Amino acid sequence: MALSRLSSRSTTLLQPLATTSLLRRRHISTDTTPITVETSLPFTSHLISPPSRAVETSSQELISFFRDMALMRRMEIAADSLYKAKLIRGFCHLYDGQEAVAIGMEAAITKRDAIITSYRDHCTFLGRGGGLFEAFSELMGRTTGCSKGKGGSMHFYKKDASFYGGHGIVGAQAPLGCGLAFAQKYSKEEAVTFTLYGDGAANQGQLFEALNIAALWDLPAVLVCENNHYGMGTAEWRSAKSPAYFKRGDYVPGLKVDGMDALAVKQACKFAKEHALKNGPIILEMDTYRYHGHSMSDPGSTYRTRDEISGVRQVRDPIDRVRKLIIAHDIATEKELKDMEKEVRKEVDAAVAQAKSFGADRKELRATLP
């Protein structure tokens, strides 16, 4: 039985770890018997009754959450190193700290549901089934990347999994996402579109224009504000008179979610999808946090203290929260989880090495491509 959805979808150019033998060796529980866990915080709602805090999960899902988030975290740390080594050029926006949003959302929907996001898109691509090799190749501008090396960090793309890309223009993905939702309704697909944007983009006029049309036409649109509290180095309280982003739709229902709790995100996204299919758009505000700066040119420590960052890591880190759940339910031991993280690191290092070498010689690259 596969330990992780992400590793099982790795590109054929990079074989995933032998997770089946890993499970046999360590006897880590992959039981699918339902486990009910209460979310860390209650949901706060606007114009709608909130979902239950009791979330159904399983040993298998919790192990999958842990490994997938660890893989995302390690990928972003590797991307940071590659940028500093000048192997990644241009813009690069990292997602470490926000992994629970990508993981929880994916657990609640299917690949028929579409996702479109901003320039902080690496982990969303991985969550949709993208491979590490494709990700690192794209970051380094190689033709073997998910956008053939033409998009770079801000423009990952995977149409076969209904991932319609990252977008560099702040808030521009909002009308595009509502357009995708219009197409789904027009085609009677019984699917929804999740449009992700940040707290900085929440002040863009095009967001309100798109939301107005979505509400008028009852489109199956879920607008997800990933509120990491700092838009391009500016704290939310300095840029928004009303930072209650889940209420910004006024006439559209909203829900505020602990975006550092993967199970809370899963519950909220499942709830939002059901609502959007029956009643039209809904806004989700994910209260999350980024550990790195806004981009690679931002040290991330001039407008907030290091104590603030370390405090969030200690109390709200999404990976540690799942780690504690796994240990509390006797699914795996601390050592087994540390070993899993070591395996993840090896997998990421192997993908980096392969992406560095594959296509380094342009003539050799052209000879290998169809």
Whether the CB-CB separation of 77 and 69 falls below 8 Å is answered with no
Mean pLDDT, each 10-residue run in order, the chain (370 residues): 40 40 55 94 98 98 98 98 96 98 98 98 98 97 95 97 97 98 98 98 96 98 98 91 94 98 98 98 98 93 93 98 97 96 98 86 51
Question: Which residue(s) pair with 37 in the sheet?
Answer: 55
Q: How much is the pLDDT for 31?
A: 87
Q: How much is the pLDDT for 367?
A: 53
Q: How much is the pLDDT for 23?
A: 44
The per-residue pLDDT for range 258-276, each reduced to its tens digit, is 999 999 999 999 999 999 9
Q: How much is the pLDDT for 358?
A: 78
Give me 370's structure tokens: 């169809």
Query: CA nearest 361: which of 146, 139, 144, 135?
Result: 144
Question: Which residue(s) pair with 258 in the sheet?
Answer: 287
- With vertex at residue 61, the alpha carbon angle to CA 267 and CA 14, rounded to the nearest 5 degrees, is 120
Give me 314's structure tokens: 């200690």
Q: Which residues of 147-156 are buried (b: 16+ CB within 10 A; e: fewer)?
A: bebebbbbbb
The pTM for the full model equals 0.90
Please give the Cα distance from 168 to 209 (Å, whole number). 19
Question: Which residue(s) pair with 195 in the sheet?
Answer: 116, 223
Q: How much is the pLDDT for 13?
A: 39
| Superfamily covering domain 26-348 | Thiamin diphosphate (ThDP)-binding fold, Pyr/PP domains (3.40.50.970)
Q: Where are the beta strands (DSSP E) in the chain?
A: 35-38, 44-46, 54-57, 114-116, 193-198, 221-227, 230-231, 234-235, 254-258, 282-287
The per-residue pLDDT for range 298-315, each reduced to its tens digit, is 989 899 999 999 999 999
Tell me the DSSP string of 196-260: EEETTGGG-HHHHHHHHHHHHTT--EEEEEEE-SEETTEEHHHH-S---GGGTTSSS-EEEEETT
Q: How much is the pLDDT for 359?
A: 61
Of how many residues is the chain composed? 370
| Domain spans in the chain, listed from the N-terminal domain onward | 26-348
Please give the single-letter amino acid code of residue 281. Answer: P
Backbone angles phi, psi at 30, to 5 degrees: -125, 30
Q: 111: number of CA atoms within 13 Å, CB side?
A: 11
